Protein backbone atom coordinates (compact mmCIF):
# COMPACT_ATOMS: atom_id res chain seq x y z
CA UNK A 1 0.00 0.00 0.00
CA UNK A 2 1.25 3.49 -0.81
CA UNK A 3 1.66 6.14 1.88
CA UNK A 4 -1.55 7.96 1.03
CA UNK A 5 -3.62 4.78 0.88
CA UNK A 6 -2.40 3.60 4.24
CA UNK A 7 -3.05 7.05 5.70
CA UNK A 8 -6.54 6.94 4.24
CA UNK A 9 -7.13 3.47 5.61
CA UNK A 10 -5.75 4.59 8.99
CA UNK A 11 -8.19 7.49 9.10
CA UNK A 12 -11.22 5.40 8.14
CA UNK A 13 -12.84 5.50 11.59
CA UNK A 14 -12.35 9.23 12.03
CA UNK A 15 -13.57 9.86 8.51
CA UNK A 16 -16.68 7.81 9.21
CA UNK A 17 -17.63 9.68 12.37
CA UNK A 18 -16.50 13.10 11.27
CA UNK A 19 -16.83 13.58 7.53
CA UNK A 20 -19.85 11.35 7.09
CA UNK A 21 -21.71 13.16 9.86
CA UNK A 22 -20.90 16.50 8.27
CA UNK A 23 -22.10 15.23 4.94
CA UNK A 24 -25.33 13.91 6.40
CA UNK A 25 -25.90 17.29 7.99
CA UNK A 26 -25.16 19.05 4.72
CA UNK A 27 -27.40 16.85 2.59
CA UNK A 28 -30.28 17.39 5.02
CA UNK A 29 -30.00 21.17 5.06
CA UNK A 30 -31.10 23.85 2.62
CA UNK A 31 -29.18 26.73 4.06
CA UNK A 32 -26.44 27.64 6.49
CA UNK A 33 -28.33 29.16 9.42
CA UNK A 34 -27.70 29.22 13.16
CA UNK A 35 -29.43 25.87 13.64
CA UNK A 36 -27.17 24.29 11.02
CA UNK A 37 -24.09 25.82 12.64
CA UNK A 38 -25.11 24.51 16.06
CA UNK A 39 -25.35 20.99 14.70
CA UNK A 40 -22.03 21.37 12.94
CA UNK A 41 -20.50 22.57 16.20
CA UNK A 42 -21.67 19.37 17.92
CA UNK A 43 -20.09 17.21 15.19
CA UNK A 44 -16.77 19.03 15.42
CA UNK A 45 -16.63 18.80 19.21
CA UNK A 46 -17.55 15.11 19.12
CA UNK A 47 -14.62 14.54 16.75
CA UNK A 48 -12.22 15.97 19.38
CA UNK A 49 -11.27 18.96 17.27
CA UNK A 50 -11.39 21.02 20.48
CA UNK A 51 -13.55 23.93 21.65
CA UNK A 52 -11.28 26.71 20.50
CA UNK A 53 -10.72 25.30 17.03
CA UNK A 54 -14.42 24.57 16.64
CA UNK A 55 -15.27 28.17 17.54
CA UNK A 56 -12.70 29.40 15.07
CA UNK A 57 -14.00 27.20 12.26
CA UNK A 58 -17.56 28.39 12.89
CA UNK A 59 -16.41 32.01 12.79
CA UNK A 60 -14.64 31.32 9.50
CA UNK A 61 -17.81 29.85 8.07
CA UNK A 62 -19.94 32.80 9.21
CA UNK A 63 -17.44 35.17 7.62
CA UNK A 64 -17.35 33.19 4.37
CA UNK A 65 -21.16 33.12 4.22
CA UNK A 66 -21.33 36.87 4.80
CA UNK A 67 -18.72 37.49 2.11
CA UNK A 68 -20.63 35.28 -0.30
CA UNK A 69 -17.75 32.80 -0.62
CA UNK A 70 -19.96 30.02 0.65
CA UNK A 71 -23.59 30.22 -0.42
CA UNK A 72 -24.99 26.77 0.26
CA UNK A 73 -24.30 23.84 2.61
CA UNK A 74 -22.78 21.67 -0.14
CA UNK A 75 -19.92 24.15 -0.53
CA UNK A 76 -18.93 23.59 3.07
CA UNK A 77 -17.01 20.33 2.71
CA UNK A 78 -14.32 21.75 0.42
CA UNK A 79 -14.27 24.91 2.56
CA UNK A 80 -13.69 22.94 5.78
CA UNK A 81 -11.10 20.69 4.15
CA UNK A 82 -9.21 23.78 3.01
CA UNK A 83 -9.42 25.47 6.42
CA UNK A 84 -8.29 22.35 8.30
CA UNK A 85 -5.40 21.93 5.88
CA UNK A 86 -4.43 25.57 6.49
CA UNK A 87 -4.57 25.14 10.26
CA UNK A 88 -2.44 22.00 10.10
CA UNK A 89 0.02 23.55 7.66
CA UNK A 90 0.55 26.84 9.50
CA UNK A 91 4.13 27.04 10.73
CA UNK A 92 4.71 23.40 9.78
CA UNK A 93 8.05 21.96 10.74
CA UNK A 94 9.23 18.64 9.41
CA UNK A 95 11.45 16.05 11.09
CA UNK A 96 15.00 17.35 10.95
CA UNK A 97 18.40 15.74 10.84
CA UNK A 98 21.47 17.35 12.34
CA UNK A 99 23.98 18.95 9.96
CA UNK A 100 26.68 16.84 11.57
CA UNK A 101 25.63 13.33 12.64
CA UNK A 102 24.56 11.81 14.92
CA UNK A 103 21.07 13.27 15.13
CA UNK A 104 19.87 12.63 18.66
CA UNK A 105 16.15 12.08 19.09
CA UNK A 106 14.70 11.79 22.57
CA UNK A 107 11.30 10.15 22.74
CA UNK A 108 9.01 10.95 25.66
CA UNK A 109 5.46 10.05 26.60
CA UNK A 110 3.26 8.16 29.02
CA UNK A 111 3.48 4.34 29.16
CA UNK A 112 1.16 2.60 26.76
CA UNK A 113 0.89 5.38 24.17
CA UNK A 114 3.05 3.40 21.75
CA UNK A 115 6.45 4.88 22.53
CA UNK A 116 8.57 1.75 22.04
CA UNK A 117 6.73 0.75 18.89
CA UNK A 118 7.19 4.27 17.53
CA UNK A 119 10.93 4.12 18.21
CA UNK A 120 11.12 0.83 16.31
CA UNK A 121 9.19 2.23 13.34
CA UNK A 122 11.16 5.47 13.38
CA UNK A 123 14.42 3.53 13.40
CA UNK A 124 13.13 1.47 10.51
CA UNK A 125 12.23 4.63 8.56
CA UNK A 126 15.80 5.93 8.89
CA UNK A 127 17.27 2.49 8.12
CA UNK A 128 15.21 2.44 4.93
CA UNK A 129 16.90 5.71 4.07
CA UNK A 130 20.26 4.03 4.41
CA UNK A 131 21.17 5.54 7.78
CA UNK A 132 22.95 3.86 10.66
CA UNK A 133 20.69 3.84 13.68
CA UNK A 134 21.33 3.20 17.38
CA UNK A 135 18.56 2.77 19.93
CA UNK A 136 19.05 3.52 23.63
CA UNK A 137 16.99 1.84 26.35
CA UNK A 138 16.85 4.68 28.86
CA UNK A 139 13.51 3.51 30.21
CA UNK A 140 15.27 1.38 32.78
CA UNK A 141 12.19 1.24 34.98
CA UNK A 142 10.57 -1.58 33.02
CA UNK A 143 12.56 -4.68 32.09
CA UNK A 144 9.94 -5.35 29.41
CA UNK A 145 10.69 -2.01 27.75
CA UNK A 146 14.38 -2.93 27.46
CA UNK A 147 13.52 -6.36 26.01
CA UNK A 148 11.05 -4.90 23.57
CA UNK A 149 13.57 -2.37 22.32
CA UNK A 150 16.11 -5.17 21.78
CA UNK A 151 13.60 -7.06 19.68
CA UNK A 152 13.05 -3.95 17.58
CA UNK A 153 16.80 -3.44 17.28
CA UNK A 154 17.23 -6.96 15.84
CA UNK A 155 14.26 -6.52 13.54
CA UNK A 156 15.46 -3.28 11.97
CA UNK A 157 19.21 -3.81 12.15
CA UNK A 158 20.07 -1.26 14.81
CA UNK A 159 22.43 -1.62 17.80
CA UNK A 160 20.75 -1.25 21.18
CA UNK A 161 22.54 0.36 24.10
CA UNK A 162 21.16 -0.90 27.40
CA UNK A 163 21.96 -1.35 31.06
CA UNK A 164 20.14 -3.60 33.47
CA UNK A 165 16.72 -2.84 34.93
CA UNK A 166 16.81 -0.06 37.53
CA UNK A 167 20.05 1.47 36.21
CA UNK A 168 20.46 5.25 35.97
CA UNK A 169 18.78 6.37 32.71
CA UNK A 170 21.31 9.19 32.38
CA UNK A 171 24.14 6.64 32.41
CA UNK A 172 22.45 4.77 29.55
CA UNK A 173 22.04 8.01 27.60
CA UNK A 174 25.69 8.90 28.21
CA UNK A 175 26.89 5.51 26.93
CA UNK A 176 24.54 5.75 23.98
CA UNK A 177 25.84 9.14 22.90
CA UNK A 178 29.44 7.90 23.25
CA UNK A 179 28.58 4.79 21.22
CA UNK A 180 26.81 6.83 18.54
CA UNK A 181 29.89 9.02 18.15
CA UNK A 182 32.37 6.12 18.22
CA UNK A 183 30.37 3.95 15.82
CA UNK A 184 29.60 6.90 13.54
CA UNK A 185 25.85 6.43 13.78
CA UNK A 186 23.60 8.80 11.84
CA UNK A 187 20.66 8.67 14.21
CA UNK A 188 20.42 7.90 17.92
CA UNK A 189 16.92 7.36 19.27
CA UNK A 190 16.54 7.38 23.05
CA UNK A 191 13.61 5.73 24.80
CA UNK A 192 12.64 7.28 28.14
CA UNK A 193 10.46 6.29 31.08
CA UNK A 194 6.80 7.24 31.08
CA UNK A 195 5.35 6.52 34.49
CA UNK A 196 3.26 9.59 35.04
CA UNK A 197 2.21 8.85 38.63
CA UNK A 198 5.66 9.94 39.80
CA UNK A 199 5.40 13.04 37.69
CA UNK A 200 7.97 15.28 39.38
CA UNK A 201 10.65 12.59 39.40
CA UNK A 202 9.98 11.79 35.78
CA UNK A 203 10.31 15.41 34.72
CA UNK A 204 13.55 15.76 36.70
CA UNK A 205 14.81 12.60 35.05
CA UNK A 206 14.07 13.98 31.58
CA UNK A 207 15.88 17.20 32.40
CA UNK A 208 18.90 15.27 33.64
CA UNK A 209 18.91 13.16 30.45
CA UNK A 210 18.96 16.33 28.37
CA UNK A 211 21.83 17.78 30.36
CA UNK A 212 23.91 14.64 29.98
CA UNK A 213 23.24 14.46 26.25
CA UNK A 214 23.98 18.11 25.53
CA UNK A 215 27.21 17.97 27.50
CA UNK A 216 28.52 15.54 24.86
CA UNK A 217 26.83 17.11 21.82
CA UNK A 218 25.85 20.75 22.50
CA UNK A 219 22.98 20.92 19.97
CA UNK A 220 21.53 17.60 21.11
CA UNK A 221 18.90 16.37 21.56
CA UNK A 222 18.03 17.73 18.13
CA UNK A 223 14.47 16.56 18.53
CA UNK A 224 12.35 15.77 21.55
CA UNK A 225 9.36 13.88 20.27
CA UNK A 226 6.29 13.54 22.46
CA UNK A 227 4.27 10.44 21.69
CA UNK A 228 0.50 10.84 22.14
CA UNK A 229 -2.18 8.20 21.70
CA UNK A 230 -4.99 9.48 19.48
CA UNK A 231 -7.49 7.06 21.03
CA UNK A 232 -7.32 9.03 24.28
CA UNK A 233 -8.70 12.16 22.61
CA UNK A 234 -8.68 15.17 24.93
CA UNK A 235 -6.53 13.24 27.44
CA UNK A 236 -3.72 13.48 24.93
CA UNK A 237 -4.05 17.25 25.18
CA UNK A 238 -3.58 17.22 28.95
CA UNK A 239 -0.55 14.92 28.64
CA UNK A 240 0.95 17.28 26.10
CA UNK A 241 0.49 20.17 28.54
CA UNK A 242 2.29 18.30 31.33
CA UNK A 243 5.23 17.25 29.18
CA UNK A 244 5.35 20.59 27.39
CA UNK A 245 5.80 22.34 30.72
CA UNK A 246 8.70 20.09 31.71
CA UNK A 247 10.71 19.71 28.54
CA UNK A 248 11.09 21.46 25.18
CA UNK A 249 8.98 19.24 23.00
CA UNK A 250 9.94 19.84 19.36
CA UNK A 251 7.26 17.69 17.83
CA UNK A 252 4.45 15.23 18.41
CA UNK A 253 4.02 11.68 17.19
CA UNK A 254 0.32 10.89 17.12
CA UNK A 255 -0.15 7.11 17.31
CA UNK A 256 -3.04 4.68 16.86
CA UNK A 257 -4.99 6.88 14.46
CA UNK A 258 -6.18 3.65 12.86
CA UNK A 259 -7.90 2.55 16.06
CA UNK A 260 -9.99 5.62 16.73
CA UNK A 261 -12.65 8.01 15.57
CA UNK A 262 -10.92 10.76 17.56
CA UNK A 263 -8.41 11.67 14.86
CA UNK A 264 -9.70 15.23 14.92
CA UNK A 265 -7.56 15.68 18.01
CA UNK A 266 -4.67 16.36 15.65
CA UNK A 267 -6.25 19.73 14.88
CA UNK A 268 -6.54 20.56 18.59
CA UNK A 269 -2.91 19.57 19.23
CA UNK A 270 -1.80 21.97 16.53
CA UNK A 271 -4.24 24.79 17.14
CA UNK A 272 -4.61 24.75 20.93
CA UNK A 273 -1.11 23.67 21.97
CA UNK A 274 0.90 25.08 19.09
CA UNK A 275 2.86 21.82 18.90
CA UNK A 276 3.77 20.56 15.45
CA UNK A 277 2.72 17.00 14.71
CA UNK A 278 5.69 15.47 12.89
CA UNK A 279 4.75 11.81 12.57
CA UNK A 280 1.54 9.82 12.57
CA UNK A 281 1.10 6.16 13.48
CA UNK A 282 -1.53 4.31 11.46
CA UNK A 283 -0.98 0.70 12.54
CA UNK A 284 1.24 -1.74 14.40
CA UNK A 285 3.42 -2.72 11.44
CA UNK A 286 6.96 -1.52 10.88
CA UNK A 287 5.81 0.58 7.92
CA UNK A 288 2.94 2.21 9.76
CA UNK A 289 4.63 5.45 10.75
CA UNK A 290 4.62 8.35 8.32
CA UNK A 291 5.95 11.88 8.32
CA UNK A 292 2.95 14.13 8.83
CA UNK A 293 1.82 15.91 5.66
CA UNK A 294 -1.03 18.42 6.21
CA UNK A 295 -2.42 18.35 2.69
CA UNK A 296 -2.48 14.56 2.47
CA UNK A 297 -3.97 14.38 5.95
CA UNK A 298 -6.82 16.77 5.12
CA UNK A 299 -7.45 14.91 1.86
CA UNK A 300 -7.51 11.54 3.60
CA UNK A 301 -9.78 12.93 6.31
CA UNK A 302 -12.32 14.17 3.80
CA UNK A 303 -12.10 11.10 1.58
CA UNK A 304 -10.02 12.67 -1.18
CA UNK A 305 -12.90 14.46 -2.86
P1 LIG B 1 4.75 2.11 25.26
O2 LIG B 1 4.34 1.57 26.58
O3 LIG B 1 4.40 3.55 25.12
O4 LIG B 1 6.16 1.83 24.90
O5 LIG B 1 3.80 1.39 24.19
P6 LIG B 1 4.10 0.21 23.15
O7 LIG B 1 5.04 0.67 22.11
O8 LIG B 1 4.43 -1.02 23.90
O9 LIG B 1 2.67 0.10 22.45
C10 LIG B 1 1.49 -0.23 23.14
C11 LIG B 1 0.55 -0.92 22.16
O12 LIG B 1 0.11 -0.01 21.16
C13 LIG B 1 1.21 -2.09 21.41
O14 LIG B 1 0.29 -3.14 21.33
C15 LIG B 1 1.46 -1.50 20.03
O16 LIG B 1 1.49 -2.47 19.01
C17 LIG B 1 0.30 -0.56 19.87
N18 LIG B 1 0.53 0.52 18.90
C19 LIG B 1 1.55 1.41 18.86
N20 LIG B 1 1.40 2.27 17.83
C21 LIG B 1 0.25 1.91 17.19
C22 LIG B 1 -0.47 2.43 16.05
O23 LIG B 1 -0.10 3.42 15.38
N24 LIG B 1 -1.62 1.77 15.72
C25 LIG B 1 -2.08 0.70 16.43
N26 LIG B 1 -3.22 0.14 16.04
N27 LIG B 1 -1.44 0.22 17.50
C28 LIG B 1 -0.29 0.81 17.88
Residue 203: pLDDT band (50, 70, 90) is confident
| Ligand 1 mean position, distance from CA 280 (Å) | 12
pLDDT for the residue numbered 198: 62
Question: Residue range 215-240: average pLDDT?
Answer: 94
Mean pLDDT of 50-64: 94
Q: Is the pLDDT of residue 305 over 70?
A: no
Q: Which of 111, 114, 243 to mutate to test the pocket of ligand 1 (most atoms within 8 A of CB)?
A: 114
Instruction: State the distance from the centre of ligand 1 to the C-alpha of 112, rounded, in angstroms.
Output: 7
Please list every protein residue whose CB sits less than 6 Å from any atom of ligand 1: 111-117, 194, 255-256, 258-259, 281-284, 288
Given a cut of 80, whether residue 290 has pLDDT beyond it is yes
Ligand 1 centroid to residue 69 C-alpha, Å: 43
Ligand 1 atom with least separation from CA of 148:
8
Residue 116 has pLDDT above 80, yes or no: yes
Does position 48 have pLDDT exceeding 80, yes or no? yes
* CA of 266 relative to ligand 1 center, distance in Å: 18
Q: Answer yes or no: is pLDDT of 195 > 80.
A: no
Best mutation site among 284, 286, 288, 289 for ligand 1 pocket (most ligand atoms within 8 Å of CB): 284
Is residue 64 over pLDDT 80? yes
Q: Which residue has the higher pLDDT, 47 or 38?
A: 38
C-alpha 207/C-alpha 200 separation (Å) is 11
Instruction: Pick 305 or 163 by higher pLDDT.
Output: 163
Q: Do 138 and 162 meet the contact criterion of CB atoms below 8 Å apart? A: no
pLDDT digits (tens, 9 = 90+) for 15-38: 988 888 898 999 888 889 999 999
Query: Of the given ranges (36-40, 148-152, 199-203, 258-262), which has the lowest mean pLDDT?
Result: 199-203
Report the separation in Å between the CA atom of 99 and the middle of ligand 1, taken as the mean of its atom positions: 31
Q: What is the pLDDT of residue 220?
A: 96
Q: Cα–chain-centroid distance for residue 272?
A: 14
Question: Stretch 193-220: mean pLDDT, rounded?
Answer: 87
Output the 3-class SS for the chain: CCHHHHHHHHCHHHHHHHHHHHHHHHHCCCCCCHHHHHHHHHHHHHCCCCHHHHHHHHHHHHHHHHCCCCCCHHHHHHHHHHHHHHHHHCCCCCCCCCCCCCEEEEEECCCCCCHHHHHHHHHHHHHHCCCCEEEEEECCCCHHHHHHHHHHHHHHCCEEECCCCCCCHHHHHHHHHHHHHHCCCCEEEEEECCCHHHHHHHHHHHHHHHHHHHHHCCCCCCEEEEEEEHHHCHHHHHHHHHHHHHCCCCEEEEECHHHCCCCCHHHHHHHHHCCCEEEEECCCCCCCEEECCHHHHHHHHCCCC
Q: What is the pLDDT of residue 17?
A: 86
* Ligand 1 centroid, distance to 101 Cα (angstroms): 28
Please name the residue whose Cα sits nearest to atom 12 of ligand 1: 114
Highest mean pLDDT among 72-86, 122-136, 194-208, 262-276: 122-136
Question: Which of 3-7, 126-130, 135-139 is the least confident region?
Answer: 3-7
Going across the sheet that includes 277-281, the strands are 159-161, 133-138, 187-192, 103-108, 223-229, 251-255, 277-281, 289-291
Between CA 189 and CA 120 the distance in angstroms is 9
Per-residue pLDDT band for 199 (boundaries 50, 70, 90) equals low
Q: What average pLDDT is seen over the chain?
A: 92
Q: Which atom of ligand 1 is nearest to the CA of 120?
A: 7
Question: What is the arithmetic mean of pLDDT over 260-282?
Answer: 91
Residues 6+ apart with CB under 8 A from 76: 22, 26, 32, 40, 61, 70
Best residue among 112, 117, 118, 283 to mutate for probing ligand 1's pocket (most ligand atoms within 8 Å of CB) is: 117
Percent of the chain with pLDDT over 90: 71
Mean pLDDT to the nearest integer, 195-212: 82
Residue 121 C-alpha to ligand 1 middle, in angstroms? Answer: 11
pLDDT of residue 194: 86
Amino acid sequence: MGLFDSLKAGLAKTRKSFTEKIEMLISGSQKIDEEFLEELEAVLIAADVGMRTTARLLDDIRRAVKAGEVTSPDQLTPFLQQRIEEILAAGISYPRLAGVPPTVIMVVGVNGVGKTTTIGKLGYYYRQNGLKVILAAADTFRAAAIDQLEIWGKRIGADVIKHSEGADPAAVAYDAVKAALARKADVLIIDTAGRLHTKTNLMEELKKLKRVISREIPEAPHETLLVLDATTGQNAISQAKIFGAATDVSGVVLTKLDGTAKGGVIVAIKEELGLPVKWVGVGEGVNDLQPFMPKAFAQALFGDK
